[in-house]
Structure 1
Amino acid sequence: MLASRITAAFRQHFGSTPLVVRAPGRVNLIGEHTDYNGGFVLPAAVDKEIIFAVALNGTTTARLYAYDNQEHYATDLAALQPGQPQWANYLKGVVAQFQRRGVPVPGFDCVFGGNVPVGAGMSSSAAVECGLAFALDQLLGTHLERMELAHMAQKAEHEYAGVMCGLMDQFASLFGRDGQVVRLDCRSLAYAYFPFDTEACRLVLCNSGVKHSLADSEYNKRRQECERGVQLLQQHYPDVKSLRDATLAQLAQHQAAFDEVTYRRCRYVVQENQRVLDACEALQRRDLAAVGRLMHASHAGLRDEYEVSCPELDALEEAARGLPGVYGARMMGGGFGGCTLNLVAPAHVEAFIQTVGQAYQRRFGRPLETYQTSIVAGVSEVAGPAAAAHSA
């Protein structure tokens, strides 16, 4: 239905037949703020997605239409620069990555829109970047590997949106697999899939409804704190290139060299990497209770050591703890707002949503928005009349 609306809007605005692409958002089961530290993450693509309708237009101009905002924007592709509106930067940044690889990008028309909640920690920005990267790769016949497209989308966010994100969000959007989570080693880029049975356990997202303005600046600050920790460790352990290489014993041995904040940041990352590995083993055993315990431990670390939670997220995790049928809960995403991710037995989902919603309403005086998500495949062309017409 969403794809039909986006395709219809494209024909209305531009009058041609587009290539139609879907790009999913993602959840991250566990492994937060580990990606830019060369560590492990365990995301999955989910059924909240951005739909793109894209076609070449025979000019040197990109004509963009943000369906959800009902905003038009056009830019000369020979003179790309970040600017306003902010949403266009994610798209311009992707085009710039093709150009940097020596790929001439001719003018194109693009309509995009979707149902990935913005500011909820489900990586709507990565879905936007990956969807356009995939569409242009198809239209231009560049046949780039998906990992290359993920890196291009990541660089687009670095250079045009100013957020120094790791690779996880773009990777998850492109590499998702139906019914499975995927563990990515952010150092080697090796990855492996693990079963996640959404019949035995549902993924329920509780949206705090807040997005604190300090999220992006604090995110970049956390990266700098981790880099400072690595520099301190390298004085004693030259082989430590990132916190992925560090151990808790090494940190403890040289704690006196650290300021308290840097020490806590580093300790959290080292512990979180181990939690990802432990969660994968638990999934193979189908031990959801063990996965849930690791999620609660992850939240505690994000709250107390990495300090990227907020009262709303903490209240949601606390309300979920101990409820019937709830295996685990934790904040998800960069922090300071967004969602908690909750693993809930199917028979208890309705009661869970009601109980946590009431607790949130009492505490903060506003309703709680929740989403039930299923795990789906990564970025792909949308089959159907629009796709058939394009391929013909």
Structure 2
Amino acid sequence: MIATTPVYSLASQVAKKFKEIFSVDDALVVRSPGRVNLIGEHTDYNNGFVLPAAIDKAIFMAIDRRSDEEVHLFAMDYDQSYRGPVKPLTPSALHWPNYILGVVEQLQQMGHSVGGFNCVFAGDLPLGAGLSSSAALESATAFALNQLFGLGLDTMTMVRIAQKAENEFVGLQCGIMDMFASMFGRKDQVIRLDCQSLDYTYFPFQTNGLRILLLDTKVEHSLASSEYNIRRQQCEAGVKLVQKHHPHVKSLRDVTAGMLADIVGPADELIYKRCSFVVEENARVLAGTEDLQRGDVAAFGQKMYASHEGLSRKYEVSCPESDWLVEQVSREEGVLGARQMGGGFGGCTINLVKADVIDGLTAKIAPLYRKAMNRELKWYIGQIENGTSVV
């Protein structure tokens, strides 16, 4: 199992490194968490519903102003530096600076004055595990720059800035969920977010004796960016087919299963599969929150299994390793639900597991996974925590 670095230990390490590099004692230190999404995958960019929560693994950022118009960055996890002007901004070949620079660009486009700054960051979010380390970094940057330069931005505006940074500067057409969960997270609660209206409702998630267990396939989702954008295009193609008969339809949020069967199915079997998954997944989120309100976590868990089946067979964003893990845990006592989480093609499966079986489960699964997939299994026990804040 992976040990969690104590929050204030990692925050102090970042502050110490900042002082070491820039000779400044009192840098602003911000914590911005990663997220899990219990159910509702690939629904966000289709104006649907999602059910995320912020977790106790995060990006920590130390930041302070410079007297010139330069940006100096240091990524502790990569042991790499970046230097460049605040204007004009150009994407970096290192890639990781682009998550920060993209936020600066969005602020500039809104007319905000952002001067030069120094920044050091590190995280205990495992990279490539589908816990949205990129959204956490963008959210940390938006929050920190708002504080540092007194921009007066509200939380939702910062969420939108972080999303647009990823869409326009990084080039991944992600939805708003990851940044929203990172910013709006609340301890021991999940958030049902309507990605069309951005209305949201908190639901208590204090299921006694249960834990969120993340099983990391250790498969880097190298296909995720390109295939993610393709899935988005396929959903848009389905909407266009429906619009020919129902002009009021704006997104898959407005589409019913009947519309898909009558219009999209006969026209394009692949587009039908993609779109039907999204429509069904939206329904699962709404029904799943009713389960949580009733305290019926077992029924909620069954919807997680159904979600994975759709992700694997209809949306085709799973991978053999994730399929194997979900199938394996489904046979074990004490596991209520499991599915692929995140963009897909690797990363983690999210599992609702009784706390007293976790040690035995992981001890059993790890060697079987190594034998079946020739990979080492890692796992993380997630706790639901508050969103982005000053440390």
The answer, yes or no, to whether TM exceeds 0.5 is yes
Contact 1:232–1:257 (CA under 8 A) maintained in structure 2: no
Contact 2:241–2:264 (CA under 8 A) maintained in structure 1: no
Alignment match, 1:225: 234
State the 1:212 CA deviation: 3.7
- Structure 1 residue 15 corresponds to structure 2 residue 32: no
Written as runs of structure 1 = structure 2, the 5 A alignment for 1:1-392 is 1-16=9-24, 17-382=26-391
Q: Deviations over 1:110-136 (max 9, x none)?
A: 000011111110000000000010000
Q: Cα gap change, 1:255/1:224 in structure 2, threshold over 3 Å: closer, same or farther?
A: closer
How many residue pairs are counted as aligned between the two chains? 382
Contact 2:216–2:349 (CA under 8 A) maintained in structure 1: yes
What is the SS of the residue equivalent to 2:89?
coil
State the 1:83 CA deviation: 2.6
Q: Deviations over 1:193-242 (max 9, x none)?
A: 11111543100000000114221100000000000000000011111100
Q: Deviations over 1:282-340 (max 9, x none)?
A: 11111110111000000000000000001000001011103111000000000000000
Contact 1:20–1:54 (CA under 8 A) maintained in structure 2: yes
Amino acid at match of 1:251: L
Alignment match, 1:388: none
Amino acid at match of 1:2: L
Question: % of aligned pairs identical?
Answer: 52
Contact 2:128–2:221 (CA under 8 A) maintained in structure 1: no
Q: CA RMSD in A?
A: 0.9
Q: Deviations over 1:174-210 (max 9, x none)?
A: 0000000001000000000111115431000000001
Q: Which runs of 4+ in 1 moved over 6 A?
A: none
Contact 2:242–2:264 (CA under 8 A) maintained in structure 1: no
What is the SS of the residue equivalent to 1:116?
coil
Q: Cα gap change, 1:363/1:15 in structure 2, threshold over 3 Å: closer, same or farther?
A: same
- Matches of 1:107 and 1:257, distance apart in 2: 56
Instruction: Mark the runs of 5 or more structure 1 residues left unpaired by the alignment.
Output: 383-392
Contact 1:23–1:131 (CA under 8 A) maintained in structure 2: yes
Q: Deviations over 1:235-264 (max 9, x none)?
A: 111111000011101111224543111000
State the 1:366 CA deviation: 2.4
State the 1:165 CA deviation: 0.3
Instruction: Mark the runs of 5 or more structure 2 residues left unpaired by the alignment.
Output: 1-8
**TM-score where L is the length of structure 1:** 0.96
Amino acid at match of 1:174: M
What is the SS of the residue equivalent to 1:240?
coil
What is the SS of the residue equivalent to 1:206?
strand
- Matches of 2:68 and 2:157, distance apart in 1: 27
